[in-house]
Structure 1
Amino acid sequence: MLDLEVVPERSLGCQNYEFILGMHFSQAVAIIQSQVGTIKNVQVLYSDQNLLNVDLIINISASGLRLIFDSVTQRLKAIEIFNMKLVRLRYCGICFNSPEILPSIEQIENSFGSTHPAVYDASKNSFALNFRGLTFYFHVDNKTQANLGNHGLSSLHFGQGNSPVVSRMTLYCGNSFAECKAPPLPISCYNKQLYVESATVIRNSSSTKGLRLNLFTEGSVRNLESCKQCFTRDILFGDNVQDIASSLGAPSRVFFKSEDKMKIHSPSAHKRVQRKSDFFYNYFTLGIDILFDARTQKVKKFILHTNFPGHYNFNIYHRCEFKLELHPDKNDQLNSNPVIVTAYSKWDSISSKLLEPSDNPVVLHRSSSTNCSNIFGSTFCYGYEDIIFEIMNNGFIASITFYSTSSQSVFSPWAGIQRNDKFNDFDIKLK
């Protein structure tokens, strides 16, 4: 049984780990993976067709615990304990819920102090006791329901042994669970990493020049507390390894391409012999991959990831909040309406403005080297100018690839969506 400390409007955790409101989905997953054998029976719940309007949930059924993430920001919005019998809870070091201590109304008031009268919900036969950042829900039986009337719980006196006990509890930021939102990423969760606030694609009439990144990270210490530091960096095609490292720091991982199965799409691919391996700089917290040419050591490709659940690479990257502006009418860019593409755009809304109806996609199917099947299925890649859109079966963009059109760069534009470690430590369920 987990023994956890409750901190209203902040966190639920213990000495070894802490689930902090506002933390990114991948950080919560990392905690769970580090507690193998302690945190058990974990499932990820999401809506396959309605990814942006239904919360992303990590359900820890063995501990009666549910972590609720905002589907857009993918940050922890609320924590729900739906089975109080499966977990031991403390507040300010004092236990208020355990097999030996029932969380009755009197126990909650003794632990957390007085608050407003409880709010009764007749449709659910329950009432809620609200504190700032914390709500306790009690089930109402028929005898208690007859005594409620219109006076609320403040007028009730429960006999010894008859006091209702908490059936579930929610932890959040703000005054009510119904109106709570995921807070910004707490500085305690920065972990000295770099994060992207927004990314703008720098383009001319028909080609990409690079990316303008609005970044933030942990700044200098002021009054014994760290602060958020923001800055902007431009990364361009033709930048060398030193340029990128100076702008973005060391990558999360360096990936060397061992083979290129997509080179068949390049003209005269059989005549080309690659003696050295191109390599990626993977920036997981930015949601960006940068491909360098093996010969020149210069950037020739950018890949931006959206990190939607249901994709093979889900949970490897943070979502890159990019904005891409395209002008299909090259002859009259001033008067034509641009096509705006973001990480939340659906392919149906932009494809008719960019592509001919006869354009056919390249089908991309990922699988691991251990012959494990890809439960998420194939994705579809569409080319437009110097851009490749990778589209999921539900129409959402999985990634966007920008490749250099320089005559000095000789390679397949379709190559380079490299295999990564797949998200296989959880059961994935669709709502």
Structure 2
Amino acid sequence: MLDLEVVPERSLGNEQWEFALGMPLAQAISILQKHCRIIKNVQVLYSEQVRCSPSNQNTNQPVQVLFICRNNIDFTVIEVYDLSKVKLKYCGVHFNSQAIAPTIEQIDQSFGATHPGVYNAAEQLFHLNFRGLSFSFQLDSWNEAPKYEPNFALGLASLQIPHGAMVKRMHIYTGNNLQETKAPAMPLACFFGNIYAECVDVLRDRAGPLGLKLRLLTAGCGPGVMADAKVRSLERSIFFGDSCQDVLGALGSPHKVFYKSEDKMKIHSPSPHKQVPSKCNDYFFNYFTLGVDILFDSTSHLVKKFVLHTNYPGHYNFNIYHRCDFKIPLVIKKEGAESQTEECVLTTYSKWDQIQELLGHPMEKPVVLHRSSSANNTNPFGSTFCFGLQRMIFEVMQNNHIASVTLYGAPRTTGQARPESRSSSH
């Protein structure tokens, strides 16, 4: 049985590992894999609704903890929904174990007084809320809703609740309101010396994309650094035609360098049979924590492509990349007015039907992309569809979400200045 420490507004864990609010899902899965001999039963559930709960999943699997992640795939809420299978303590003192039942009297003794609770008739649950922590008591065996005197709401003693009422669920979150809580900033302990992208702005002119401006977050690590640890923010820009040295100087070393063994999209070029095979392969710099891939030409070693990953569940590459929170500005001509234009921004959360309304429907049919590994030719998530518009390729999932956006640009000629150093701004 797991023995876990509860820290309101922060985490659930022990001396070996910790699940923290704001932690990327990939790190939590890494913890589960590392401690698979102790945490033996894990079930991953996905719902496109804002919130999912085991109660509506019709599952009898022996899992005890639910991590609720919203738009950013970072932990927003940690829910313990079967307290009989875990030991829980607060400030080093157990309030739930095989010998200690999590009754309302025990919660009062462990956590102290709080505001009067709220009864939800639809759920038949009584919710008792502390800052960053709430307990839900099962009331289906009661004959009536709990009664308390509002004028005497000085703590749990003022609530007329039957003796021995048991906690059914526990939630850890930030703030005072579970329904309105948001994922906090990623904790310092989750950086592990990596650099993350807070947001990525696509730089462009009227012809198409020029490059990326990244707002980066990093935290110091190593001897003597954690004593004064804090998150630092910095901005870096990279453009089509930048060299490997330019990119390494701006973003640091990639997590992986991937050499393309073949170009599966070559068949869609005007004359694929006339293209002379290269003796060298183009290669990607994979920045997993940025959610960005950068493709270099094998001959010139200059940037020729950017790939931005949204990391939506249900995609073949899910959980490999951190979500790239990108913004792509568009200038759209209004119908019937040649000189009038309308500005709008595409984001990571834009859906394909919304993008088509802005950019128009592609003239050509989509390219069907079916991913599979060499070890396993089956892809449980199905194919995706690639549409090309305005020097951008949108990879669309079957649920209408964007899986990735590939940006193409005209390479700079030799001696041509980088866009950031030109007199005109974009």
TM range (shorter): 0.7 to 0.9
In structure 2, the residue matched to 1:395 is 400
Question: What is the correspondence of 1:7-406 to structure 2 with a 5 Å cutoff?
Answer: 7-48=7-48, 53-54=50-51, 61-70=61-70, 72-140=71-139, 142=141, 145=144, 148=147, 154-155=157-158, 162-219=163-220, 224-271=227-274, 272-329=276-333, 335-356=340-361, 358-406=363-411
What 5-or-longer segments of structure 2 have no aligned partner?
Answer: 415-426
Distance in 2 between residues matched to 1:63 and 1:246, nearest whole Å = 45
Deviates more, 1:182-191 or 1:10-19: 182-191
The AA in structure 1 aligned to 2:9 is: E
The answer to whether the 8 A contact 2:146-2:160 is kept is no
Q: 1:352 to 1:108 in 2, by over 3 A?
A: closer
Q: Secondary structure at the match of 2:128?
A: strand
Higher relative contact order (CA 8 A, sep 6+): 1
Query: SS state of the match for residue 12, structure 1?
Result: strand
Conserved 8 A contact 1:386-1:405? no
Aligned alpha-carbon RMSD (Å): 3.0
Shift of 1:109: 2.0
In structure 1, how many angstroms separate the alpha carbons of the residues matched to 2:251 and 2:146? Answer: 64
Does 218-227 or 124-133 show the bigger shift?
A: 218-227
Shift of 1:145: 3.9
Shift in Å, 1:201? 1.3
CA distance in 2, matches of 1:75, 1:191: 16
Asked whether the equivalents of residues 39 and 63 of structure 1 are also in contact (C-alpha less than 8 Å), the reply is no
Higher alpha-carbon deviation: 289-298 or 339-348: 339-348
Task: Give the Cα–Cα distance (whole angstroms) in 1 for the partners of residues 83 and 157 of structure 2.
Answer: 24
Name the CA distance, whole Å, in 2 between partners of 1:326 and 1:319. Answer: 21
Tell me by how many angstroms 1:211 deviates. Answer: 0.8
Q: Does the Cα contact within 8 Å between 2:372 and 2:378 map onto a contact in 1?
A: yes
Structure 1 residues 242 and 363, CA, compared in 2 at 3 Å: closer, same or farther?
same
The 1:218/1:82 distance shift into structure 2, 3 A limit, reads same
The alpha-carbon deviation at position 7 of structure 1 amounts to: 0.9
Match of 1:3 in 2: 3
**What secondary structure does 1:16 align onto?**
coil
SS in 2 for 1:337: strand
Q: Distance in 1 between matches of 2:412 and 2:268?
A: 17
What secondary structure does 1:327 align onto?
strand
TM-score of the two chains, using structure 2 as the length reference:
0.86
Alpha-carbon distance in structure 2 between the residues aligned to 1:210 and 1:332: 29
Report the CA distance between 1:294 and its aligned residue: 1.2
One-letter amino acid matched to 2:304:
K
Q: Give the distance between the partners of 1:146 and 1:192, measured in 2 at CA.
A: 51
Task: Specify every segment of 5 or more residues in structure 1 that has no aligned partner in the other structure, as ranges.
Answer: 410-431
Counterpart residue type for residue 80 of structure 2: I
Q: How far, CA to CA, are the matches of 1:346 and 1:339 in structure 2?
A: 14
Shift of residue 140 of structure 1? 2.8
User: Which stretch shows the higher mean deviation, 371-380 or 262-271?
Assistant: 262-271
Aligned mates of 2:226, 2:27 — CA distance in 1: 27
Q: Would the aligned equivalents of 1:301 and 1:404 in 2 still touch at CA under 8 Å?
A: yes
Relative to structure 1, the CA distance from residue 203 to residue 84 in structure 2 (aligned partners, 3 Å threshold; closer, same or farther) is same
Q: Does the Cα contact within 8 Å between 1:2 and 1:63 map onto a contact in 2?
A: no
Residue pair 1:56, 1:74 contacting (<8 A) in 2 also: no
- CA distance in 1 between counterparts of 2:349 and 2:60 reads 28
Q: How far, CA to CA, are the matches of 2:303 and 2:376 in structure 1?
A: 32
Q: Identity rate of aligned residues, in percent?
A: 48
Residue in 1 aligned with 2:421?
Answer: none
Query: 2:329, 2:343 within 8 Å by CA — same for their partners in 1?
Result: yes
Could you tell me which residue of structure 2 aligns to residue 415 of structure 1?
none
**Larger CA deviation: 123-132 vs 178-187:** 123-132
The secondary structure found in structure 2 opposite 1:46 is coil
